[in-house]
């Protein structure tokens, strides 16, 4: 498969802002201590160079294809079609199988790209990253192992205590795991700890787990990751002869949504949906649905974006069954796309996602990441409502559920 | 230049010394104790830097972060910190300057204009906003608002910042500029005098703005050494640790304040040239 | 990729025997109670029909590509080359990444094919299978879930008690798991229990976990599975312009070895190596190295083949750290290929495999199934010995190691 | 036809009854008890089917498999079973026929020729090899060897086998043929008389070989019903269960033998027409 080169169709401005022209509202930017400014400048300049460096891009693409395995299938799922009424009523449903990636999720695409960039462009010897559910840490640690870089992972002590397949794999990959005992001892203080550690060691490079953080991270991560979207667009064309009518992806930080939907930003005929976790219900306050709940704009981890926070600006903890979605913010480009209405948002409750998990196992023989179940539930609901047999629907199956098995089996046994 | 700082610098010059700056997190461990600490410290410090706790700060050491946690638990909010400073100012007689140290998100949520207005109202003399990027629209608004109200905008400069960045930052500083002695987090390393020498030299070439130095200043020796190079010497983490220690030993209010000031008095002695 | 159709190049005779012409020794056959003869005849006839049924073959291929994801990358591993002296000394090493399959091993290829066959050719409504480490059960249960067949899994009570990610996933896929309390309560009695259950319900179909069992199972499983070998042969040609010099695969029952090596049986220039588990060392008696230890010929689970057994014909239990290799026999075609010297055998100890596991994690960023570590160790040893910079080496990385993580992390912590 | 079977069938005909066949696993629960059980049962049974334990049998029920386990634990091996049968035969006076029931692997390892020779030596009258495929070379060797030595080759036939298969099997049976009453494992279902009727009818059309019926024969009623259709009635699982029960209650040797035979005596009564 020939993968078309990246084309910038939604550039932020020089300072890393996406600006909503109607409201004047800005998303992104680089709000960070002056101590980190030089580090970010280095990344920013390196990234610009990298995107013009053909050898770098070709080398990265080769590794993404052959090591990460990004040319995963696009699976027509008759089983899901039948669940919502059959092809004749709702059209065709396609699952982008990024669950088949190396390390079983979409995360390795940007993680590997970032580490490859750190090695070949920045000549860094060490990577610093943070993690909650360790999916990102696993992917970064794997890339560091392969590329011969030191890897330092910051994890909240509370998260660290949870039994976690991905954390164990991160350790096997040789990463140094540092527990963070600050504040809530979860993802956010771990991110802060990672940034502080970078402040201490500017020769290292910081890698972020989603399309978040200060400029140029949101831009860089989505640019690297969009290769999956470009591949999928071609696959969709090959299979159906045209663009999909809808694109669905779950949204935690926004990387897998960005990854799959980027190539359709300018394709007006394609409806794009981002699905958040409604946790125990948005009205309960225990959720991670930043955009669906219309969270206000704030400045979190270096970027202007919608943020779950209280009236004093203290960041609220998100709450969701899906640890990969357990984040109080959303990437700035995604917030911008939400603000201009280009991406529509829906939210799925934990209970709905858990039932979808069981359904997927039993009806499709696929073990999805619990994160992916939020999007599948919402997509089926939307597709059923649209009831258009001429449509082709694209759902991003962004990860595999090995690390959810223990909890989900418990849920199954308690609920059946 | 902000009036209070003018007075302070004049006095320091007269006394042939630098200015001692003590950092504490506002409302750590609670409102009343914090108030007593500030009142007590105002007797020995030229400047009091009061941290406005943010639960997701990206640049504070674990020491400061746990102080933030304690403060938030005892109800710290932006307006409470203003109230605290106002009350303290009303009860002291010295010319001690008060500087807030915080992150942009809380100012943004509070409203930049309102924040500046309340700084003025409560007698804040200067503001540090750790993550306010020089080039951001918010930074511009803060700069303009503070300038209009004669409040110092105090920018941090790190040894790793390039000259363009430093120039940009200096433009926005009216009262003094804050040099970070090493690339790292507060309290994590020892004060780096080489960095300080290089940076002060560089800054003094283009400006005669007073220079403060912080990060790694822990001992009387440190204070003495930094005093020779800078106009202000900032000490934070160790004072915060002292508050924690006292508080863990059951002290609060006046008792805690004395326990802390005992330590600060000794440090502050180092400013004499 | 156009996958060339299957071509039979090593057919057994009518009765399912591969005969070594020099020794006259027969491998395979159909040694089973008369009660199962009709069931086997149905499978045998169905399989012949299926291989001529273009619609069936095309449908199966489509699902294997898009659901199982069999077009996995062939990864050039510079990291492994460097470990044994670098490309200039030993040539190039390629890893066939079947670890990236749906359900993370090579097993789903034959499992899905068999269940698809059961549904579309035999019109069966139920599948019966057995399992040890549950890798096969997971794959079969997944296929049954997708294709809407009932799934019954027999597992020895001792195996069942072990914490097993794959067993839990099997349950999530909706399989009915039946504990077998016979004899050693491990894989062999579970296989017997599965066959007995089939005896009780001839409308069901039995699915075997490797190229074992009575005719036509060894033939059918390797025929279905060989599609991966055909794809790999093309990939190798595309990448290097020629055939590989060596092909390495681990050998438990023999399915992944058969799968990858079949297309080279007649290519004299290709050396084929099967790697067994030497457990605690062959001389210790605690191993699973049927062929390397020169086990005698016996009749196990319906087929003549080499078997670990005592002098009274009682089957000996195998012993190995890799539960996927914990089997006292070897598929008959593989035994035949061993007997004529076409496939050479080596064995790797558990300790060597465990060290290889840690090395793979830390040096290549790949989490291999422990089974795959036996082959990697032996392959590197052999490649180093050959010391031929003109050679291209093909190693089958037949699975991913999620289910080995707990034990391996314990090993790492205890040994480092 | 094997001499012993000739006598047995003649006697049964004379007494207007069928022949009762009891199955036990050789050396279950131990050599001596098993010997006493066989001796005792020989008084009431025309045929004794002695299981040669294989630890990986593919067709036995869990009941038989645990009997196999017990036997193997007490040292069961092919040659020991020969010794057992030989000793029993030397101590009994009745014309009871002895049949071994086992799997091919052990015969293969023992050596087919040697196995047949030892059958002869120890007085075995017939052999069942559950997994010996009619078309396999081993089956051919066993058939020829047994025939030459006048030992019955007893083939199993299932209701699901087709007529070609049945024909093939009958060709190799000289003394009697064993009909399995249902497609399933021993002891798992009730005897299926419909299947038996169909199969006996079919077989009697092409041969006048005596027919035995097993699988699911558990009660006196079962024995009576099957007796009407068949020449031999085989009862296995329930006898094996009885051995287990007695053994678990602490019985062994003669005591266990009596405990088992008590049960068998009652069943065997059903063979009278
Ligand atoms: C499988 C999976 N899906 C989705 C997410 C959500 O992250 P994002 O929105 O950045 O793709 C995660 C995060 O860990 C994940 O592991
Ligand atoms: C990953 C993996 N590799 C290898 C094997 C060995 O089986 P075979 O030799 O049949 O491929 C297994 C069996 O479960 C397995 O799971």
Instruction: Give me the count of residues in chain C.
Output: 416
The full set of domains in chain D, from first to last, is 3-271 (3.20.20.70)
Does B169 contact chain A (CB < 8 Å)? yes
If contacts are CB pairs under 8 Å, which of residues 51-70 in chain B contact chain A?
Answer: 54-62, 65-66, 68-69
| pLDDT for position A202 | 83
Q: Which two tokens stand for residue C280?
A: 């605690």
Residues in chain D: 273
**Which residues sit opposite C271 in a β-bridge?**
C246
Number of structural domains chain A divides into: 2
In b/e form, how buried is each residue of B154-173, taking b as 16+ CB within 10 angstroms? bbbbbbbbeeebbebbbebb
Instruction: Find out whether A396 and A249 touch, Cβ atoms under 8 Å.
Output: yes
In a domain, C194, yes or no: yes
Please report whether residue A46 resides in a domain.
yes
Distance between start and end Cα atoms, chain A = 45
Query: Which of B105, B133, B183 faces A298 most closely, judged by CB atoms?
Result: B105
Is B137 near chain A, with CB under 8 Å?
A: yes
User: A113 and A76 in one domain?
Assistant: no
Which residues, 6+ apart, have CB-to-CB distance to A10 below 8 Å? Answer: A18, A262, A265, A333, A337
Same domain for A265 and A360?
yes
Cβ atoms C47, C220 nearer than 8 A: yes
Residue C162's pLDDT is what? 79
C258-284 tens-digit pLDDT: 999 999 999 999 999 999 999 999 999
The pLDDT score that the predictor gives to residue C88 is: 98
Average pLDDT over residues C387-409: 97
CB atoms within 10 A of CB A5: 11
Chains A and B touch (3+ CB pairs under 8 A): yes
Tens digit of each residue's pLDDT (9 = 90 or more) over A340-385? 999 999 999 999 999 999 999 999 999 999 999 999 999 999 999 9
Q: Do C309 and D109 touch (CB under 8 A)?
A: yes
Strand pairing report for C17-19 and C26-28: antiparallel
Distance CA B214, CA B235 (A): 6
Cross-sheet strand order for the sheet of C392-397: C74-76, C92-97, C392-397, C246-250, C271-279, C343-349
Tell me the backbone φ, ψ of residue A317, rounded to 5 degrees. Answer: -75, 140
Residue among D28, D30, D40, D49 flagged as catalytic = D49
Let me know if D49 is a catalytic residue: yes
Whether A145 and C102 lie within 8 Å, measured CB to CB: no
A248, with CB counted inside 10 A (0-12, 13-18, 19+), is buried
Chain A residue numbers with beta carbons less than 8 Å from the beta carbon of B107 are 313
Burial C116-148 (b: 16+ CB within 10 A, else e): bbbbbbbebebbbbbbbbbbbbbbbbbbbbbbe
Which residue is catalytic, options D28, D30, D40, D60? D60
Q: Active-site positions of B? A: 49, 60
Q: Compare all CA atoms of chain C with the CA of D139 and give the residue at the minimum distance.
A: C31
Taking a C-beta distance cutoff of 8 angstroms, is the pair B205, B218 a contact?
no
Residue A296: give the domain boundaries: 71-104+226-415
The token pair that represents D184 in the structure block:
């399933």
A264 and A251 in one domain?
yes
**CA-CA distance, A16 to B169, in Å (whole number)?**
19
Interchain contact D167–C (C-beta under 8 A): no
Option in B65, B72, B161 nearest A37 (CB):
B161
Whether pLDDT at D187 is above 80:
no
| pLDDT tens readout for residues A123-161 | 999 999 999 878 999 999 999 999 999 999 999 998 888
Residue of C38, C200, C301 with shortest CB distance to D162 = C38
Is residue C7 one of the residues assigned to a domain?
Answer: no
Whose tokens are 């080596």? That residue is C346
Q: What angle do CA C330, C334, C339 make, to 5 degrees?
A: 105
Distance A369 CA to ligand 1 centre (A): 9
C284-299 pLDDT tens trace = 999 999 999 999 999 9
Quick check: is C12 in a domain?
Answer: no
Q: How close A142 comes to chain B (CA, Å)?
A: 26
Chain A environment of C361 (Cβ under 8 Å): 145, 169, 172-174
Say if the Cβ atoms of C142 and A406 lie within 8 Å. Answer: no
Nearest Cα neighbor of B107 from B141, B156, B62, B65 is B141
Q: Which residues of B touch A299 (CB under 8 A)?
A: 103-105, 108, 131, 138
* Mean predicted lDDT score pLDDT of chain B: 95
| pLDDT at residue number B183 | 85
User: What pLDDT is recorded for position D71?
Assistant: 98
Q: What are the pLDDT digits (tens) for C15-57?
A: 999 999 999 999 999 999 999 999 999 999 999 999 999 999 9
Distance (Å, rounded) from C-alpha A220 to C-alpha A44?
9
| Dist. CA A203–CA C269, nearest whole Å | 50
DSSP state at residue B91: H
- pLDDT classification of B186: cutoffs 50, 70, 90: confident
Ligand 2 atom 12 nearest Cα: C324
CA nearest D103: which of D135, D56, D145? Answer: D56
CA–CA distance, D6 with C400 (Å, rounded to integer): 63
In a domain, C8, yes or no: no
pLDDT at C416: 85
Identify the band that residue C200 occupies on the pLDDT scale cut at 50, 70 and 90: confident
Percentage of chain C modeled with pLDDT above 70: 100
**What are D28's two structure tokens?**
């279950």
A409 pLDDT exceeds 80?
Answer: yes
Token pair, residue A85, equals 């009424």
* Residues lining ligand 1, Cβ inside 6 A: A 105, 107, 133, 135-136, 210, 250-257, 324-325, 369, 371, 398-399
> For residue B170, what pLDDT is reported?
97
C271 lines ligand 2 (CB under 6 A): no
Give the HSE-up count for residue A142: Cα atoms under 13 Å, Cβ half-sphere: 30
Task: State how far the Cα of D159 lies from the Cα of D243, in Å rounded to an integer.
Answer: 29
**Chains touching C (3+ CB pairs < 8 Å):** A, D
Per-residue pLDDT band for B212 (boundaries 50, 70, 90) equals very high
**Region of residue B250 (left: phi > 0; alpha: psi -120 to 50; beta: else):** left
Q: Do B72 and A196 touch (CB under 8 A)?
A: no
pLDDT of residue A296: 98
Distance from CA of D66 to the nearest CA of C (A): 7
Q: Which helix (H) or strand (E) holds B51?
A: strand B47-51
D29: nearest Cα among D58, D59, D60, D51: D51
CA of B58 to the centre of ligand 1 (A): 22
User: Across-strand partners of B49?
Assistant: B23, B99
Most A CBs within 10 Å: which of C70, C106, C151, C365, as the mutation test of the A interface? Answer: C365
Residue C254 distance to chain A (closest CA, Å): 24
Name the CA radius of gyration of chain D, rounded. Answer: 17
d(CA D252, CA D265): 19
Q: Is residue A25 part of a domain?
A: no
Known catalytic residue at D91: no
Which one of A222, A241, A264 terminates a domain? A222
Report phi then psi at C124, rounded to 5.
-75, 155
pLDDT of residue D272: 86
Q: How many Å lie between the alpha carbon of B107 and the closest alpha carbon of chain A?
A: 8
State how far residue A359 is from chain C, nearest Cα, in angstroms: 9
Strands C92-97 and A246-250: unpaired
Closest CA to A250 of A346, A342, A316: A346
| Cβ contact A142–C365 (<8 Å) | yes
Whether residue A142 is found in the same domain as residue A91: no
Contact: B58, A182; criterion CB under 8 Å? no
Burial environment of residue B254 by CB neighbours within 10 A (0 to 12, 13 to 18, 19 or more): middle
Q: Which residues of C touch A394 (CB under 8 A)?
A: none
pLDDT band at A298 (very low <50, low <70, confident <90, very high): very high
The enclosing H or E element of A344 equals: strand A343-349
Chains C, D: CB pairs < 8 Å: 135
Angle between helices C54-63 and C107-120 (to 10 degrees): 140
In angstroms, how far is CA A323 from the centroid of its own chain?
12
Task: Convert the pLDDT of each residue in B105-145 to its tens digit.
Answer: 999 999 999 999 999 999 999 999 999 999 999 999 999 99
Is residue A209 located within the same domain as residue A264?
no
Minimal C-alpha gap between A197 and chain C (Å): 23
Q: Are A114 and A163 in the same domain? A: yes
Query: D105 and C299 in contact by Cβ < 8 A?
Result: yes
Claim to verify: residue C186 and residue C244 sit in the same structural domain:
no
Q: Which of C190, C222, C254 is the last residue of a domain?
A: C222
Residues of C in contact with D66 (CB under 8 A): 182
Q: Residue C402 in contact with residue A179, Cβ under 8 Å?
A: no
Distance between CA atoms of residues A183 and A185, nearest Å: 5
Q: How confident is the model at residue D186 (pLDDT cuts 50, 70, 90)?
A: confident
Residue A49: how many other CB atoms lie within 10 Å: 13
Does A114 fall in a domain?
Answer: yes
C198 and C272 within one domain: no
Residue that wins the pLDDT comparison between A231 and B186: A231
Question: Would you call B184 an interface residue with chain A, using a CB distance cutoff of 8 Å?
Answer: yes
More confident residue, D248 or C184: D248
Do A313 and B180 make contact, defined as CB atoms within 8 angstroms? no
Residues C307, C233 share a domain: yes
D and A touch per CB criterion (3+ pairs under 8 A): no
Phi, psi for D214 (deg, rounded to 5): -140, -175
Q: Do both A155 and A189 map to the same domain?
A: yes
Nearest by CB to residue B108, choosing from A32, A37, A298, is: A298
Distance, in Å, from the CA atom of C127 to the CA atom of C43, rounded to the nearest integer, reads 13
| Residue C14: inside a domain | no
Cβ of C101 closer than 6 Å to ligand 2, yes or no, is: no
Q: Is A191–B160 a contact, with Cβ atoms under 8 angstroms apart?
A: no
Checking if the pLDDT of B92 tops 80, the result is: yes
Backbone angles phi, psi at D129, to 5 degrees: -120, 100
Residues of D in contact with C296 (CB under 8 A): 109
Instruction: Give the per-residue pLDDT at A184.
Output: 85
The pLDDT of residue A390 is above 90 = yes
Q: How many CB atoms lie within 10 A of CB B175?
A: 27
**Res D188 pLDDT > 90:** no
A398-to-A6, A61, A355, C127 alpha-carbon distances in Å = 21, 20, 18, 30
Q: Flag if D136 and C30 touch (Cβ within 8 Å).
A: yes
Largest CA distance in chain D: 50
Q: Could you report the per-residue pLDDT of C356-365, keeping only the tens digit for each?
A: 999 999 999 9
- CB nearest A102 (choices: C74, C100, C173): C100
Q: Give the number of beta-carbon pairs within 8 Å between A and C.
A: 130
Residue A25's pLDDT band (boundaries 50, 70, 90)? very high
Q: What is the dihedral of CA D246, D251, D255, D260, to 10 degrees?
A: 10
Tell whether the model's pLDDT for residue B187 goes beyond 80.
no
State pLDDT tens for residues D243-252: 999 999 999 9
**Among candidate residues A166, A197, A222, the one where a domain is terminated:** A222
**H/E/C letters for each residue in chain C?**
CCCCCCCCCCCCCCCCEEECCCCCCEEECCCCCCCCHHHHHHHHHHHHHHHHCHHHHHHHHHHHHHHHCCCCCEEECHHHHHHCCCHHHHCEEEEEEHHHCHHHECHHHHHHHHHHHHHHCCCCCEEEEEECCCHHHHHHHHHHHHHCCEEEEEEEHHHHHCCCHHHHHHHHCCCEEEEECCCCCCHHHHHHHHHHHHHHCCCCEEECCCCCCCCCHHHHHHHHHHHHHHHHHHHHHHHHCCCCCEEEEECCCCHHHHHHHHHHCCCCCCEEEEEEEEECCHHHCCCCCCCCCCCCEEEECCEEEEECECCCCCECCCCCCCHHHCCCECCHHHHHHHHCCCEEEEEEEHHHHHHHHHHHHHHHCCCECHHHHHHHHHHHHHHHHHCCCCCEEEEEECEECHHHHHHHHHHHHHHC
Closest residue of chain C to A175, computed from CA coordinates? C362
CATH of the domain at C134: 3.40.50.1100
CB-nearest to C300 from D56, D110, D161 is: D56
Report the nearest-CA residue for atom 16 of ligand 1: A324
Residues A214 and A115 in one domain: yes
In the beta sheet, which residues pair with residue C152?
Answer: C128, C176
Tell me the pLDDT of chain A averaged across its residues: 96
3-state secondary structure D77-94: CHHHHHHHHHHHHHHCCC
On whether both A123 and A95 belong to a single domain, the answer is no
Helices (H), D15-61: 31-41
What the block records as the tokens of A22 is 């109607």
- pLDDT at residue C160, rounded to an integer: 87
Chain centroid offset of residue A315 CA: 20
């Amino acid at each position: 498969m020939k993968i078309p080169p990246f084309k910038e169709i939604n550039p932020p401005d020089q300072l890393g802002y996406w600006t909503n022209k109607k409201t004047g509202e800005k998303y992104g930017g680089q709000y960070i201590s002056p101590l980190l400014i030089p580090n970010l400048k280095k990344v920013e300049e390196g990234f610009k160079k990298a995107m013009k460096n053909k050898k770098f891009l070709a080398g990265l693409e080769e590794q993404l294809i052959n090591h990460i395995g990004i040319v995963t299938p696009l699976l027509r799922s008759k089983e899901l079609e039948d669940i919502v009424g059959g092809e004749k009523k709702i059209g065709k449903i396609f699952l982008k199988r990024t669950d088949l990636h190396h390390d079983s999720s979409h995360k390795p695409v940007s993680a590997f790209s970032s580490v490859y960039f750190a090695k070949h462009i920045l000549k860094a010897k060490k990577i610093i990253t943070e993690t909650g559910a360790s999916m990102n840490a696993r992917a970064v640690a794997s890339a560091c192992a392969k590329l011969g870089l030191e890897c330092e992972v910051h994890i909240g002590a509370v998260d660290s205590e949870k039994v976690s397949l991905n954390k164990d794999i991160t350790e096997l990959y040789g990463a140094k795991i540092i527990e963070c005992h600050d504040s809530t001892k979860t993802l956010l203080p771990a991110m802060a700890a990672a940034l502080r550690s970078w402040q201490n060691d500017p020769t290292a490079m910081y890698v972020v787990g989603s399309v978040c953080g200060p400029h140029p991270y949101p831009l860089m991560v989505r640019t690297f990751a969009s290769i999956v979207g470009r591949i999928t667009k071609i696959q969709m064309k090959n299979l159906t002869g045209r663009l999909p009518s809808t694109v669905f992806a779950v949204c935690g930080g926004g990387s897998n949504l960005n990854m799959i939907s980027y190539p359709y930003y300018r394709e007006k005929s394609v409806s794009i949906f981002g699905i958040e976790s409604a946790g125990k219900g948005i009205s309960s306050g225990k959720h991670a649905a930043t955009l669906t709940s219309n969270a206000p704009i704030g400045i979190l981890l270096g970027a202007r974006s919608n943020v779950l926070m209280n009236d004093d600006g203290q960041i609220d903890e998100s709450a969701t069954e899906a640890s990969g979605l357990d984040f109080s913010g959303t990437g700035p480009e995604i917030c911008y796309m939400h603000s201009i209405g280009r991406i529509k948002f829906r939210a799925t409750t934990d209970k709905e996602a858990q039932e979808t998990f069981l359904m997927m196992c039993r009806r499709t023989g696929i073990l999805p990441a619990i994160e992916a179940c939020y999007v599948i539930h919402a997509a089926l609901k939307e597709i059923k409502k649209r009831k258009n047999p001429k449509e082709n629907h694209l759902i991003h199956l962004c990860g595999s559920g090995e690390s959810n098995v223990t909890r989900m089996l418990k849920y199954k046994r308690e609920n059946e | 230049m902000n009036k209070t700082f003018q007075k302070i610098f004049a006095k320091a010059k007269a006394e042939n010394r630098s200015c001692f700056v003590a950092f504490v997190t506002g409302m750590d461990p609670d409102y009343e104790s914090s108030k007593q600490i500030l009142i007590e410290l105002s007797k020995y410090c030229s400047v009091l830097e009061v941290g406005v706790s943010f639960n997701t700060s990206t640049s504070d050491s674990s020491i400061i972060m746990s102080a933030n946690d304690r403060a938030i638990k005892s109800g710290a909010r932006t307006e409470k910190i203003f109230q605290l400073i106002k009350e303290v100012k009303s009860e002291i007689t010295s010319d001690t300057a008060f500087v807030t140290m915080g992150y942009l998100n809380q100012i943004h949520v509070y409203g930049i204009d309102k924040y500046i207005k309340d700084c003025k109202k409560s007698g804040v003399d200067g503001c540090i906003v750790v993550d306010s990027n020089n080039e951001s629209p918010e930074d511009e608004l803060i700069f303009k608002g503070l300038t209009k109200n004669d409040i110092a905008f105090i920018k941090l400069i790190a040894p790793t910042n390039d000259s363009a960045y430093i120039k940009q930052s200096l433009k926005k500083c009216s009262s003094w500029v804050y040099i970070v002695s090493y690339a790292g987090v507060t309290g994590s390393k020892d004060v780096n005098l080489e960095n300080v020498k290089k940076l002060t030299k560089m800054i003094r070439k283009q400006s005669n703005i007073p220079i403060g130095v912080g990060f790694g200043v822990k001992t009387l020796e440190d204070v003495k050494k930094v005093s020779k190079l800078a106009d202000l010497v900032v000490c934070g983490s160790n004072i915060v640790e002292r508050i924690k220690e006292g508080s863990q030993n059951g002290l609060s209010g006046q008792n805690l304040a004395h326990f802390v000031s005992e330590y600060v008095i000794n440090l502050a002695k180092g400013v004499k040239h």
